[in-house]
Amino acid sequence: MNMSNMPVLVTGACGFIGSHLTEALVKQGAKTRALTFYDARGASGWLSDLPPDIRKSIELISGDVRDTEQMSRIVQEGDTVFHLAALIGIPYSYMAPRSYVETNITGTLNILEACRQKHASRLLVTSTSEVYGSALSVPISESHPLQAQSPYSATKIAAEKLAESYIRSFNLPATIVRPFNTFGPRQSARAVIPTLLMQLTAASGEVCLGDISTTRDFNYVADTVDAFLQIAACDRAVGQTVNIGTGLEISIAQLVETARRISGRQVRIKFDEQRVRPSTSEVKRLCADATLLKALTGWTPSFGLEKGLRLTWDWLMTKGGASYDPQRYYF
């Protein structure tokens, strides 16, 4: 896809994946507008971390996907819309489920309706591998049953079903994308890789973790962004639901060993009860079947886990360390 001068809107642009996607779109010459969550101080999240020449090419819009009228105004005819705005922390969804319903479901409905009314040229609705719950079969294809094992995953399932209904009812040119566990610079400390790496920077000699037997399919953020861009360029992806993942799984215990080797830090693992999900809510195993993505676009990951971890570690050591408190549990 030639992105030069293409009108693009990214919701959730101030977040982890959103900021990387916004940066990539600007570099490809897209006319990029970025919706960031309103802050009276004018803060723009991780977009403020971008190089000045990138930032000045972004049209920033402060707002809230829960606002129906505002979403109707900001989506413009012919836009390609990447919808990433969401509440994503699983532990917090146990505490405040209604806020997840309002942002993840109602917010997605507002974007869908705005795209329908304004005749957006393309919409990518960002879901998550959490909609699968614990794997019943591996690797997990898009036909795997959906299992709501947290309020967060329930709201993402509902958002997917709304998107599916708009595709079927109104011929909305949308694709649902299900990234597996993306990691890299700028990720929230609530995720396992940044919480592990930042604890390795401390001098305590231990890392506090929950269940280290669970497995995940980790995908470096640049690879996830590349998949988003390739899906947006693929007409055959319209109306489809597409996994984004490597097809490789690693346990958290194995992840710790890899991180130890990369960092050169020797630490012991300390079990932390507060980091454990309720037993029937924990997703024990995730591993993507990305056959459809590869068939549609030819996409394959370029970085891999170890290279991505090294890049993330280097970022923490040189730029990102001040953003995190290694002694704090971020839920």
Mean pLDDT over residues 187-205, rounded?
84
Kindly report, residue by residue over 232-290, the tens digit of the pLDDT. Answer: 999 999 999 999 999 999 999 999 999 999 988 888 888 777 777 888 888 999 999 99
Question: Is residue 10 helix, strand or coil?
Answer: strand
Nearest CA to 293 out of 236, 232, 243 is that of 243
How much is the pLDDT for 101?
98
Report the predicted TM-score, pTM, of the whole model to 2 decimal places: 0.95
Helices 252-263 + 192-201 axis angle, to 10: 40
CA atoms 327, 222, 114, 172: torsion sign = negative
pLDDT over 90 (residue 143): yes
The predicted structure's pLDDT at residue 1: 61
pLDDT of residue 268: 83
Question: SS in 3 state form for 271-313?
Answer: ECHHHCCCCCCCCCECCECCHHHHHHHCCCCCCHHHHHHHHHH
More confident residue, 197 or 226: 226
Sign of the torsion formed by the C-alpha atoms of 97, 325, 62 and 120: negative
Max CA separation in the chain (angstroms): 57
If one looks up domain 7-183+220-244 in CATH, what number appears? 3.40.50.720
Q: Which of these, 205, 160, 199, 203, lies nearest to 179 by C-alpha position?
A: 160
Asked if 133 contacts 148 with a C-beta cutoff of 8 angstroms, the reply is: yes
Q: What is the pLDDT of residues 203-237, one digit of tens each?
A: 667 888 888 899 999 999 999 999 999 999 999 99
Q: What residue type is assigned to position 201 of the chain?
A: T
The model's confidence at residue 80, banded by pLDDT at 50, 70 and 90, is very high
